[in-house]
Amino acid sequence: MELREYYELHKDSELFDRDIVICGDFNCDVRLKGAHAKKVNLLIEKFNEKGLVDTYHYLNNEKQGEESEATFFMYRHLDKPFHLDHVFASQDFIKNLEIQDSEKWIQFSDHIPIVFEIDY
């Protein structure tokens, strides 16, 4: 089931009333166009309404599309960066988040690991 559909089914449940972390490859960078990008950007807005923030952008005080670090490199080319992977949580639930060294990890995947610490 697509995450957007899951959200619509559970948006009024107790699920969003507790500490929650939603993370993964959303296949969407604000610079990308198309139907999928619009759906994901709408989902991000809905998460914000529920008090969930994109922790990378929150902790680094950066706007969508103006990221200083990428999480994905198309075709594993370091000159084709995107920010596709996201960690959503309550504003103060994630206290530290790091995108690992792309030059180290690019040999293993086109996605770069994100490591974060939960303040529980």
What's the pLDDT score for residue 5? 85
What's the pLDDT score for residue 115? 97
What's the pTM?
A: 0.89
CB-based burial of residue 66 (10 Å sphere; 0-12 exposed, 13-18 middle, 19+ buried)?
exposed
Beta-strand pair 21-25/81-82: unpaired
CB-based burial of residue 109 (10 Å sphere; 0-12 exposed, 13-18 middle, 19+ buried)?
exposed
Buried b vs exposed e over 26-40: b needs ≥16 C-beta within 10 Å? bebbbeeeeeebeeb
Per residue in 87-103, pLDDT tens? 999 988 998 999 999 99
Multiple choice CATH, 3-118, 3.40.50.300, 1.10.3470.10, 2.102.10.10, 3.60.10.10: 3.60.10.10
Give the chain's residues under pLDDT 70: 1
C-alpha to C-alpha distance for 42 and 111, rounded to whole angstroms: 23
Q: Are 20 and 13 within 8 A, CB to CB? A: no
